[in-house]
Amino acid sequence: MLKQLKQWFDNSAFQGMSEDVVDWPRVIPYILLHLSCLLVFVVGVSWIAVVICLASYFIRMFAITAFYHRYFSHKSFKTSRLMQAVFGFLGATATQRGPLWWAAHHRHHHKHADTEEDAHSPKHGFLRSHTLWFLTKKNFPTREERVKDLLKFKELRWLDRFDVLPPVIYAALILGLGAIVESVYPELGATKWQILIWGYFISTVLLSHVTFLINSLAHRWGYRSYETEDDSRNNPLLALLTLGEGWHNNHHKFPALARQGLKWWEIDISYYILLSMEKLGLVWDLKKTNKKLSQES
């Protein structure tokens, strides 16, 4: 039991296992995260709590889509080491593990998309594709051989090792924000606990499952603009909810591009934000097109 508890806080304590079975002791925090949302019936709701929930969702979804995905996994643009660390931390607050773990599994997904080796292909079933795959002992370790380019950054390795700490710190900050709202603006009718439940727990669960839908649904429902060797689809609803990730068939055709909405009407909010950051000098060398795509356009 003590060994399992240590693994919750320090991933280096995990003893490598190859069993493709759910590691049930590690599922406990995941279940508690979801059960905590039921406290909404205790703390209630206010408009400011919902606004903070949506803002928390938006900021961390951008960190996942733009940095965990397009930057760490695909090197779609360049940025400074400071920005890399900041958004690595923000991505980790989404409670989807560390940036090295996330990038390693995603790179493997592209290499083996919709084959037997693809850990979260919907061919293995919806539940497995949506959530069970990352709860297995086999898929818990970070496959460092897939992210050798990122291992040189000590801060990223730290985030990966102690990936439970950013969510805890973030939740504490949300609670602190709630305390300020409660004391300074009592007329809003919100309490710090209400802000915590909406701003971290509900926001995180929504963010997580919307992200997981890219695995479970974006290879099933939608249209295909390009013939690819996988079953990827473009799904406008998922694209809206994930700030652009739903243009999944486009992405599998041109995985290195910073933009995924390739037609004028394919809204890609993450890409628009990256363009704004480029103008501010926060990111640069965005991969906006390639020769093949230009010819098709």
Per-residue pLDDT reduced to its tens digit, 129-188: 999 999 998 999 999 999 999 999 999 999 999 999 999 999 999 999 999 999 999 999
Considering the chain, what percentage of its residues have pLDDT values greater than 90? 86
CB 137 within 8 A of CB 21: yes
Q: How confident is the model at residue 15 (pLDDT cuts 50, 70, 90)?
A: low
Q: How confident is the model at residue 16 (pLDDT cuts 50, 70, 90)?
A: low
139: Cα separation from own chain's centroid: 16
pLDDT of residue 1: 60
Q: How confident is the model at residue 110 (pLDDT cuts 50, 70, 90)?
A: very high
How many angstroms separate the CA atoms of 125 and 136, rounded? 15
Report CA torsion sign: 25, 26, 27, 31.
Answer: positive
Residue for token digits 């394919």? 266
CB 160 within 8 A of CB 15: no
Burial annotation 138-158 (CB, 10 A radius, 16+ → b, else e): ebbebeeebbeebeebeebbe
The three state secondary structure string of the chain is CHHHHHHHHCHHHCCCCCCCCECHHHHHHHHHHHHHHHHHHHHCCCHHHHHHHHHHHHHHHHHHHHHHHHHHHCCCCEECHHHHHHHHHHHHCCCCCCHHHHHHHHHHHHHCCCCCCCCCCHHHCHHHHHCHHHHECCCCCCCHHHCCCCCCCHHHHHHHHCCCHHHHHHHHHHHHHHHHHHHHCHHHCCCHHHHHHHHHHHHHHHHHHHHHHHHHCCCCCCECCCCCCCCCCECHHHHHHCCCCCEHHHHHHCCCCCCCCCCCCCCCHHHHHHHHHHHCCCEECCCCCCHHHHHHC
How many angstroms separate the CA atoms of 281 and 20, rounded? 44
Residue 214 has pLDDT above 60, yes or no: yes
CB 79 within 8 A of CB 283: yes
Residue 272 has pLDDT above 90, yes or no: yes
User: Which comes out higher in pLDDT, residue 293 or 162?
Assistant: 162
* Per-domain boundaries in the chain: 52-296
**Which pTM was predicted?**
0.94
